[in-house]
Structure 1
């Protein structure tokens, strides 16, 4: 016999979760804000297409070829920032520091570059960023996709 509370709900059972929440997916709430900063319009288009195709409405993707334009919109509410290291004017390191000052959690920033992983780690290990990704290395790209999936499921 089931025990019922006065309100009619069962006692001793956990609340029911939607199927998406049981599986670790995002089912409710606002989309995840993903900011891509890369001086290459092709890279920005690539990232937008990949993120929107992979995550659909769960990702609100913003792309910026102008680092200053990106900084003008940054707030602490981003879920992920994908930041190119080599850009004219403001490079990725300068944008990273300004983003931190604006309240963006460094653990939400991924630095990408065509430099080797070793160079990236030397330059950014002490920064506290989430990850550094070598754009042309397949193993790095696979790791990046795992990181993305993890962030989008939170």
Structure 2
């Protein structure tokens, strides 16, 4: 079972983010889904972090967020990612809707994601893995 699940239909961004997590936060395990429908089956309440792209075909990130919360994932463990500007994202997802809404192309927003990933690694990354 993975600590982090990324559901995003952009293969280049997913590859970048997955490599970044593996290199910078090696204590965290990560799973990815390019198809939001397939990603639904991997959502479970034990996820430490769920990263969702807002704009995806078939099911958008807001619907996946609603599904994840219904499956028992805490809103405080869900981050919405988008190419849209931060003001739009904050209007669409007011405080308390999820942990954060981040523009995936802004450097300052990536710093926030790194802060979250660092906190997760500190909390969960040094545990022994049981197979």
TM superposition score category, shorter chain reference = 0.7 to 0.9
User: How much has 1:101 moved relative to structure 2?
Assistant: 0.7
Q: Please name the residue that 2:3 is paired with.
A: 33
Equivalent of 1:136 in 105, 120, 126: 105
What TM-score do you get using the length of structure 1 for normalisation? Answer: 0.75
What TM-score do you get using the length of structure 2 for normalisation? Answer: 0.88
Q: Which ranges of structure 2 fall in alignment gaps of 5 or more residues?
A: 124-131
> 1 or 2 for the larger relative contact order (CA 8 Å, sep ≥6)?
2
Q: Deviations over 1:33-83 (max 9, x none)?
A: 100010011111111101111121x21110000111111121100001111
What is the 5 A alignment of 1:71-150? 71-150=40-119
Computing the radius of gyration over CA atoms, which structure comes out larger, 1 or 2?
Answer: 1
The total of aligned residue pairs comes to: 123
CA contact (8 A) 2:22 2:28 kept: yes
Instruction: Quote the RMSD (CA, aligned, Å).
Output: 1.4
Q: Please name the residue that 2:128 is paired with.
A: none
User: How much has 1:32 moved relative to structure 2?
Assistant: 6.0
CA contact (8 A) 2:83 2:103 kept: yes
